[in-house]
Structure 1
């Protein structure tokens, strides 16, 4: 079962990655839950991570604490969406 609002969170994460990383809409649309992110996308360096997370905070009206940011959360598109959904859909 998909939690209510999760498709919206996924769309927001997808749009944020496209905007911040300068990815085409088509490329961002091709991301699946298993698409690797940090370490696999050259556009997603440590500075871009900070920008993506700040933008997600604004777009989803969430607060991301420093101790919540780790490699697992940024490993795949699905992991990032799941993290954002947990924060946004409480």
Structure 2
């Protein structure tokens, strides 16, 4: 069972990746927790990372500090979703 709000955060992460990266809804819907992101998605380059993080901040009403951004957080769809949920569901 997922904690309250995690499904909403996951849907928001999917929507941000779709909107910012221009990925189809079908492709994003197929992402699993293990789906690799940074380094695996050509659309997610270093410039796009800034857009994704800014959009997550706006849509989830969170603040992401520069020192929190690392390769591990962007490694997979699951790691990005867990990070966003930890910030949003405090």
Q: Shorter-chain TM-score: what band?
A: over 0.9
CA displacement, residues 25-76 of structure 1 (integer Å, 9 cap, x when unaligned): 0000000000000000000000000000000000000000000000000000
Aligned mates of 2:27, 2:76 — CA distance in 1: 15
Aligned equivalent of 1:68:
68
SS state at 1:50 partner = helix
Q: How does 1:1-90 map to 2 (within 5 A)?
A: 1-90=1-90
Name segments (4+ residues, structure 1) moved above 3 Å.
Answer: none
CA-CA distance at 1:81 after TM superposition: 0.1
Aligned mates of 1:42, 1:23 — CA distance in 2: 11
For this pair of structures, how many residues does the alignment match?
90
Q: Which runs of 5+ in 1 are unaligned?
A: none
Aligned mates of 1:41, 1:24 — CA distance in 2: 13
Aligned mates of 2:31, 2:7 — CA distance in 1: 14
Q: TM-score, normalised by structure 2?
A: 0.99
